[in-house]
Structure 1
Amino acid sequence: MALRIGVPAETAVGERRVALVPEVVRRLVQQGMEVWVAKGAGTGAYFPDAAYADVGARMVSQEEAWGADVVVHVQPPSEEEIALMRSGSVLIGFLSPLDQPEVADRLARQGVVALAMELVPRISRAQKMDALSAMAAVAGYKAVLIAANLLPKFFPLLTTAAGTVRPASVLVLGAGVAGLQAIATARRLGARVSAYDIRDVVKEEVQSLGATFVELPFEVPDAQDVSGYAKALAEEKQRQQAQLLVPHIGRADVVISTAQVPGRRAPVLITEEAVAAMQPGSVIIDLAAPNGGNCVLTQPGETVIHNGVQIVGPLNLPAEMPVHASQMYARTLLAMIQEFATPEGFKPNFEDEIFRGVCLTYNGEVVNERVRALLAA
C-alpha cells in the first residue's frame, strides 16, 4: 500500500494557508504516494478542490485526512485533532514546541511521530526545508505594505509642481530574514531606510540592500548563537539598548520591529519614551507581537494609537498572503517528505542531523531536550 499523506483544513482563527498546494501534490503523486486532501482545505488560499482532484489528490473528509500515514499541517493541532491521529502516524508542521510544549506532550501520548518545522537546523543541506525563514520573508514584506498604507505620507521622494516631498524614514529593528525583506521592500517603495541589529555580522547584508546600519555605543559579546539567531541580552543591557535607540526611533516615520529570541519573550526595544519621541501619524509594525512585542505598548492582534502614533501588533501576516505563503510553505514540506519518506513508508533516521533536529516526539515520548525541560518545569 502506498504512503498516504493527509492535508487537513486549517481550523485556527484567521489561518488561510494550506499545507500543500496542487503543484506539490502533483509531484508527490508522480512519486507514487497517495495524497488525501480534506474538502475545502485550500479554499482560503484560493486553491479549489477541483485543482487538487485534477492533479490526482483524493478529496476526503477532515477526519480521514487526519487519519493518514503522514499528516502535514500549518498550525499546531488542537486536542480534538490530535485525537483523530493514529498511533505511529507522522505529523509535520509548525508545532510551537517552545511556546506550547503541552502540544508535544499530547502528541507523544497519542503515539505520533512529530516533526516541528520550527526546529529545522540552520545548515546548508536544510535550507530548502527552512519554513520559518520562508514565512518570515512574507511577514517582512507585508509589514512594510501595511505601514505604507497607514502612514499619512508618501514613502518615496517626489518632485512635483507643488514642491519637493521628502522621502519617509523607515527604521527596521532586527535584521534577520523578516528584517532584511522589510528593508528591501521599503527601499523599493522609495523610503530612506536604516536598520539596527545586535549582531554586527549582518551589517554588510543591511548595507548591501541600500540601508544605513545603526551602531550603538555599547558592547554585546556573543550576540549570535551557533544557529545564527540573536541571543537574549542581560536585563541591564536590554535597558541600555532601548535607551540608546530612543533618538533613532524618534526620527523615524515608520518602525518595523522584528527582533525575537526562540523560546523567550521578545526583547523590549521600543519604550514609551521612544514612542513619545515620534511624530503624530508615525507607524510601528511590531512583528514580535505574538511573543509579547518589541514595543511596551503593543497589544497582540490589535492596533493601538498612543499620542498619535499607530502601533500595530499583527499575529499572523503570512496568512494574509495565503497564495504565495502556501506555495513557499508547501515546498519546504515537500523537501522534508522527500528526505525521509518513500512510496513504501516514512523512514525515521536519528543518525541524520536534520531528523534529530526536527523530531519532537517519537515512540510515545518527547525526545527534544528543551521541550522536555519545559514540560518538567
Structure 2
Amino acid sequence: MSAPAHAQDGQGAGPAVKPAIIAVVKESAVGELRVATVPEVVQKLAKAGHEVRVEKTAGTGAYYPDEIYAAAGATIVPGRQELLKGAQVVLCVQPPTVEDAEQFAEGTIVIGFMNPAGNLEAIRKMRDRKVTAFALELVPRITRAQGMDALSSQATAGGYAAVVMGAANCPKFLPMLTTAAGTIRPATVLILGAGVAGLMAIATAKRLGALVEAYDVRRAAGEQVRSLGAKFLELEINAEGQGGYARELTPEEKALEQEMVSAAVAKADIVITTAAIPGRKAPVLITKETVARMRPGAVIVDLAAETGGNCELTQAGKTLIEHGVTIIGPRNLPARVPFHASQMYAKNLQSFLSLVVAKDGSLVKDYSDEILAASLLVHEGEVRHAPTRDLIGGGKP
C-alpha cells in the first residue's frame, strides 16, 4: 500500500483522503500469546500514512514489547475503550467476544479468525451493531490468496509444535546414535494427515532424525510426503475432496483404512494426528483398542483435539496415560511458538488489508472481489456467510 494521495495547492483532483485508523487488540483468550501484527508490519503501515494503535502489552506474550512497536510508528494505547474510539479497522487473532462486539462502533471493520459456527452470540452482536467482519478462515484457497491464508500459516506453526511436544514426552532419542555404549535405533514417527500441519510435522521429525511414515486418504499427498523423505503408507482409496480437503470415507473404505492405520500406529513411537473435515467432527483414526496395542512409552499428539479428536481417548486440553501410552490433546498449538506464528499471521493480515484499504488510503466500499466476498461474515446488519446465517436463523434481527 502506497502513501495516501493529497491535493497540493489546489491542484489536486479532490480533497485529501484521511489515512485509515488501524487498531490492534490485546488477546484475552486463556493461553493466547499471539498478536495480530508485529512491529515490522506496523512500520510499513505507518510509512503508508496510516495511524496504527496497539493496545498496551498486546505483543508481550509473543516477545514484541511496546517500545519496539512505538519505535516502528505505533501509538501505544492503555485501554480497550480508548483503543477502539474512532478506529476504522480492528485486527485480532481470536474471535471477538460478545463484550468486544459491544464496543465496536457501527461501520467498524474487524478482521481475524471468527470461528463462525462456535461464536454465534458475538456474531449476532456484530450484526446488530452493523459491524463489518471478515473471517480469515473463510479466505478461499486460490493462488491469489496464498499470502492471506492464515489457516495454512498457523497450521505450519502447529505442525512444528506438535513434533516438539511429542519429542519432549517420548522416552526415546529420535535420531539414530552410534555410541561407545552401542547403537541406538531411531524412533519411528507416524503422521496421520498430510495437509499443511502434517507436512510441517514430517519435515520437523525428519530434521530431528526420526524414521518418518505418513498416511493421507488423498493420493496426491503421497508425492509431497515422499519429497520430504518420509515413507507414504498407501491404500487403494482416493478420497480427494473439494478445496484440498479429504471427502468422508464410505464404511467399507473406513474399515480398510482402520486396519492399515492401526498396524502402523501399533509400532510407532510418536503419532501426530492432523485429520479434519471442515465444519464436522474430526474423524476417529485411532480407537481405544488400537491404543491398547501400542508400545509402552508411545506418544500420541492429537491436533484435532478441539474438534473431537482423531484418537477415541483424546480429551481436549488434557494429557492422559492409557496402557502406558501418553495421549496429548493440545489446544491452540500455534500459540506455543508465538513469535513466529504472530509474524506469519501479521503478514497474512497485511496482504488482506491491501484489499480493504485502497492505494489512496481510503477504505474500500465494494466487497465484490472474490476474496473479500468469500470471507465477508457480517456487513450492514446482515450475516453474509450462508452457513452461519442458517445457524443463527436469519440475516437480520
What TM-score, normalized by structure 2, do the two folds share? 0.91
Structure 1 residues 33-52: aligned runs within 5 Å: 33-52=50-69
- Which residue is equivalent to 1:64? 82
Aligned to 1:252: 268
CA distance in 2, matches of 1:345, 1:69: 10
Percent identity, aligned pairs only, is 51
Residues of 2 paired with 1:231 and 1:241: CA distance?
14
**CA separation in 2, counterparts of 1:236 and 1:261?**
19
1:77 to partner: Cα distance: 1.0
Partner of 2:35: 18
| Mapped pair 1:349 → 2:366 | yes
The structure-2 alpha-carbon separation of the partners of 1:95 and 1:234, relative to structure 1 and needing over 3 Å to count, comes to farther
Tell me how far apart the structure 1 counterparts of residues 305 and 353 of structure 2 sit (CA, whole Å).
31
Counting only pairs closer than 5 Å after superposition, residues 56-135 of structure 1 correspond to structure 2 as 56-60=73-77, 61-67=79-85, 68-135=87-154
Where does residue 3 of structure 1 map in the other structure? Answer: 20
CA displacement at 1:236 relative to structure 2? 5.7
Contact 1:238 1:267 in 2 (8 A): no
> Could you tell me which residue of structure 1 aligns to residue 377 of structure 2?
360
Give the TM-score taking structure 1 as reference length.
0.96
Amino acid in structure 1 at the alignment position of 2:348: T
Of the candidates 312, 320, 338, which is equivalent to residue 296 of structure 1?
A: 312
Q: 1:58-85 CA distances to partner (integer Å, 9 max, x unpaired)?
A: 1112123234100000001111111110
Q: SS of the residue aligned with 2:29?
A: coil
Residue 203 of structure 1 corresponds to which residue in structure 2? 222
CA distance in 1, matches of 2:210, 2:64: 35
SS of structure 2 residue aligned to 1:28: helix
The Cα offsets for residues 241-262 of structure 1, whole Å up to 9 and x where unpaired, read as 3343111110111100001111
Partners of 1:348 and 1:2 lie apart in 2 by: 15
Q: Quick one: which of 141, 156, 180 aligns to 2:160?
A: 141
- Paired position in structure 2 for 1:332: 348
Q: CA deviation at 1:232?
A: 2.8
What 5-or-longer segments of structure 1 have no aligned partner? none
Report the AA paired with residue 128 of structure 1. Answer: G
Q: Deviations over 1:280-318 (max 9, x none)?
A: 100000000111110010010010100110000011111
In the alignment, structure 1 residue 216 sits paired with structure 2 residue 232: no
Q: Give 3-state SS (helix, strand or coil) of 1:12's partner.
A: coil
Deviation at 1:340, TM superposition (A): 1.9
Deviates more, 1:60-69 or 1:140-149: 60-69
Amino acid at match of 2:52: V
Kindly tell me: are residues 202 and 170 of structure 1, through their superposed partners in 2, closer, same or farther at Cα, counting changes over 3 Å? same
Residue 63 of structure 1 aligns to which amino acid in structure 2?
Answer: Q
CA RMSD between the two structures: 1.5
C-alpha displacement of 1:114: 0.5
Give me the whole-angstrom Cα distance separating, in 1, the residues matched to 2:341 and 2:25.
17
**1:279 aligns with one of 295, 303, 306:** 295
CA distance in 2, matches of 1:239, 1:83: 49
Alpha carbons 1:349, 1:355 under 8 Å: kept:
no
- Counterpart of 1:183 in structure 2 is 202
Q: Structure 1 residue 10: deviation in Å?
A: 0.4
In 2 relative to 1, CA 165–229 (structure 1 residues): closer, same or farther, beyond 3 Å? same
Take 1:186 and 1:34, find their aligned partners in 2: how far apart are those partners?
43
Question: After superposition, where does 1:161-172 map in structure 2 within 5 Å?
Answer: 161-172=180-191
